[in-house]
Structure formats: C-alpha cells, structure tokens
Chains A and B, each alone.
Chain A
Amino acid sequence: MTATARERILAATRANHFEANPLPTVPQFTGNDSVERFTEVLQSIGGKLCAYQHASHWPK
C-alpha cells in the first residue's frame, strides 16, 4: 500500500531526528523601564510624549 504524504513526511522527519538541547525556558525580561522604552520608541518615530499624573490634569 502506498504511504500517504503524512506518513512519508513524518517518517522522513523522524529518521532525521538528532540530539539537541532541551527546550529553553523563556525568561520574563523585566529589567527594562517600559515607560522609558516606550518614550524612546515613540520619539524615534516622530511622536511626542505628554505625561500627566492624573486624567483630570489633561488639557481640556
């Protein structure tokens, strides 16, 4: 009986499995100041940051 594409691909892939590193853990990367980063990126694309302590301080 002819093998299906699924069987062929899985067999060929499994035949070429190799020893490798385990799957690494993805860290949180929390060391950056996100406000500072946001400001940098915003300004790099021509934006301007207007920061207010409270919504009531926003200009009318």
Chain B
Amino acid sequence: MSHPKRAEIFTRDAERTTWHDETLWFVRQKRDKAVYAVPEFQELRELASQIKTHTLSRLADYLEQFEAQAKANGVHVHWASNAEEHNAIVLDIIRQQNATSIVKSKSMLTEECHLNPYLLRHGVEIVDTDLGERIVQLRQESPSHLVLPAIHLKKEDVGATFFKHLGTAEGEVDPQVLTEAARQHLRARFLAAEVAISGVNFAIAETGSVVVCTNEGNADLAVNLARVHIASMGIEKLIPRLSDLSVFTRLLARSATGQPATTYTSHFSRPAAGKELHVILVDNGRTQQLGRPDFRASLKCIRCGACMNTCPVYRRSGGHSYDFTVPGPIGAILSPNIDMRQHASLPFASTLCGSCTDVCPVKIDIHTQLYKWRQVIAAADEIPASKKWSMRLLSRVLARPAMYELGGKFARTSLRFVPHALTHAPGYNPWAIARELPEPPPQSFREWFKQTNPKP
C-alpha cells in the first residue's frame, strides 16, 4: 500500500490528526527553545556533520579500531551482513545461555531486523521495556516515531490496552495510574531477565565503548540486572573519539525533545565481573547506501526524530503511513535504499519545504535527497502510471506556449460547466479530496496584462 493510501486511513480521524499535528509541533517548539539557548548550536551542527562525514569516509578503519579496542576490553564482537544474520546471532547467544527471560530497551535496529517476531517464531518471548515500545508491543503495532514510539496513541487508547493486557480498571485513563501499572508490570520482567538487549546511540572507536541514551533508565536497569548484555548497532553509529561524543550528546536531546540532555547517557566499555557483553555490528544495506554519493549523507543520522516533528506531511499523516521502521523524512531517504519498489511513494511524501534539513542536527540535506530519490525512482519507472503519463503530458504542454495558452482557455471555460462530482471524484482527482478548486478566472494573467497595458 502506498503512502497516500496509508495516510488516508490515518486522516479519516480528523480530530486525532489535528491532535497529532499539534503535539509534534509542540515538541518542535520545545526543540527551538532549547536550541536558541545554546549560542554555539550551529557550530556544533557543523562539527557533528564533519565528524560523521569523516568517519564514513574511512569507516572500515574505524570499525577495525573499534573491534580491536572492544575485544581488548573483554567484549564479544559479532558482525552481521543483514537482518537474518543479526537475528541468528542473537538467538544463538540466548540459546547458549539457556535463557528464557529476555528484555529489550529501545532499539530501532532490532525493529529494522524484525527481531521480536523472529524470536517468537523460535519460541523466545521478548519484552520491550521502554514504556512507549511496550505499549505498541502489547497492541502488536510498530513504533510510529523514532523517539516517541506511541505518539499516535491517546491516553484512552493506552487505558484500553492496559485494561486488556495488564488488568487495570476499565476506563482508567489517568497517566500516573497507567504509568505505575506499567512500572509494576515491567519491574518483574527486569528482575527476571537473563539476557538484556539494547540499541546503541554511539560507539567510540578510540575506547571500544558503546553509549546508550535513554530517558527512562530502562536500558541501564535491564543490562545491569541481566547476566548478558547484547548491544545491537548499525555500523554507521561509530564516532572516532570520546571527545567527539560531547558534540553529539549536546545535539541529540535538544533536537529530539528539547531537553538539555537525555536523562541517562550510559557508557558500556567492558562486562561486569561474571557477566558478558556482546556487540553486534550490523550492515543491512548500510554499505550499499555508503556507495551512493548522493545519498550517503543519510548515514550521518543520529535518530533524533527532529525531521519528523517539523515535517508537515509526517505530522498530519502519522508514522505508520510510511510502513518503514524509520518513518518521516529521514525514513523516506533510507527506505528506497532497502527496497525501492516497495517504498517508491515515500520520497514523494514531502512538500520539499526544507524544514527537515534546517533542523537536522548533523546537517543532512534531507529535502535535496528526497528530490534526488524522486528522479532515481522516476528513471527506474517505479512511479504510478497515472503520474508518469500526466507528467509527460504536462511537460509537453509547458514546453509549448501556444499549447499552454490553448489548454488554459479550455480549462477556464470547461470548469464552469463540468459537474462538481466529476472534478472532485476521488478516484479521478485525489488532489481535490480535501480541497476546493478555485473559481476559474475569466481570463489569463497574460490576457489581463495585454488588456490593461495596451501597446502604444
């Protein structure tokens, strides 16, 4: 199903759409306030961009440096070319431990690899411990936002979910009561966990450490209680030096939620005594993206979600309309690299206003890449036939002034007589589903100009 069709499902509930739009705009405003309070913010953005670009330019060297340091620290380092290999490595570690109780903190990579359903198919149940992720997991949904996975839900939805799965009172919608219920429910899972899986926000080549940023402390609780910690990371998460981290931690939380810093920024360098720390380095299409000069900058992404909060299309179409692990503008430039045919409609889910580029903390030229993907997709003949033929027709008309003038006259005349039901037929003119066509003017601008400015 294409993005417009999925977006149509979301926008059927106008009240929810407006609420979603306003909520994310509120987060964008919080971001602005936090950013304006830091005079060197633009300098930090430029530094972050340069550090990431430099790292990508010699990524293999930094991967090897990271691996050597991590191994020297007693960390088990694994490599996975794709999602299947990643999932198999995780399952293998779980089976070696004879573990049955597994918890996971927020990790977009494991979502990307569809780890949860894979483990379930192999008889292993996994519990997401981030509150938003747990809510969507109970509802058998995917996260709709990178940082705010349940942002598409209202407290009434959460109340109904907890009533069904956690035994809260029917109709209970008090956020404090619901959060406490989740806390009690998750606490038992934390205490029983034998294996804890986490994502990775940054990996430092110089020290062989991984850094995990959360607000709930769930990752810290889980990995410190369990005897085995598995940290899954995309290979693009590397930064060269510990000193580079200070740039990114100042950008991440401000860009994501408008906070000065994430509540927890935890460094994992070596396993605690008697415990194991595994790091899985995952490619899953990243080296392919690295090989596309026009699109490799997308690998600089630090998953803050700022581009989503500011995007007028994302805010009014919801994260699930993208049908990709990473929704929003950044997802729309990452997804065609994974499967161009399946995600061909996503680079078109943008007004190209450039707001995403303006707020990106690592200065990814997101809207330029969206425009470039459109060209690649059109050249590969992956756009709908109706769009293809209408664009071809339009290019012919626009290239011929006489034909354009004639077409304009025809449209101005015919629109006065064609019935509204035809001009606004949803199957024929999706543009007009929520819009009215303007009243056809009696003459074109050119005709008006000639008439009002007659040649002497």
Q: Which residue of chain B is the closest to A44 with respect to CB atoms?
A: B33
Q: Mark A2-40, 1 if CB is under 8 A from B, else 0.
A: 001110111011111111111110110101100001001
Task: Please tell me which one of the listed residues A9, A18, A29 contacts residue B81 in the complex, with CB atoms under 8 A apart.
Answer: A9
List of A residues within 8 angstroms of B33 by Cβ: 44
Interface contact B80-A5, CB-CB below 8 Å: yes
CB of B15 within 8 Å of the partner chain: no
Interface contact A13-B79, CB-CB below 8 Å: no
A44–chain B nearest beta-carbon distance, Å: 7
Interface contact A23-B37, CB-CB below 8 Å: no
Task: Please tell me which one of the listed residues B43, B56, B291 contacts residue A15 in the complex, with CB atoms under 8 A apart.
Answer: B291
| Chain B 232-253 interface residues, beta-carbon cutoff 8 Å to A | 235, 240-241, 243-244, 246-247
Interface contact B293-A41, CB-CB below 8 Å: no
Interface contact B58-A17, CB-CB below 8 Å: yes
List of A residues within 8 angstroms of B332 by Cβ: none
| A8 to B63 Cα, complex, angstroms | 13
Residue of A9, A13, A22, A26 most packed against chain B (CB within 10 A): A13
Q: Which residue of chain B is the closest to A11 with respect to CB atoms?
A: B60
Interface contact A29-B40, CB-CB below 8 Å: yes
Task: Please tell me which one of the listed residues A13, A22, A31, A40 contacts residue B290 in the complex, with CB atoms under 8 A apart.
Answer: A13
Interface contact A16-B54, CB-CB below 8 Å: no
CB of B22 within 8 Å of the partner chain: no
CB of B39 within 8 Å of the partner chain: yes
Interface contact A13-B246, CB-CB below 8 Å: no
| A15 to B291 Cα, complex, angstroms | 8
Interface contact A8-B81, CB-CB below 8 Å: yes
Interface contact B79-A41, CB-CB below 8 Å: no
Q: Mark B279-297, 1 if CB is under 8 A from A, else 0.
A: 0010100011011010010
**Given A8-B81, A18-B57, 4 further pairs, Cβ under 8 A:** A6-B79, A12-B288, A16-B296, A19-B57
In order of increasing CB-CB distance, the 8 nearest A-B pairs are A20-B57, A12-B287, A6-B79, A14-B60, A13-B60, A5-B79, A16-B290, A16-B291
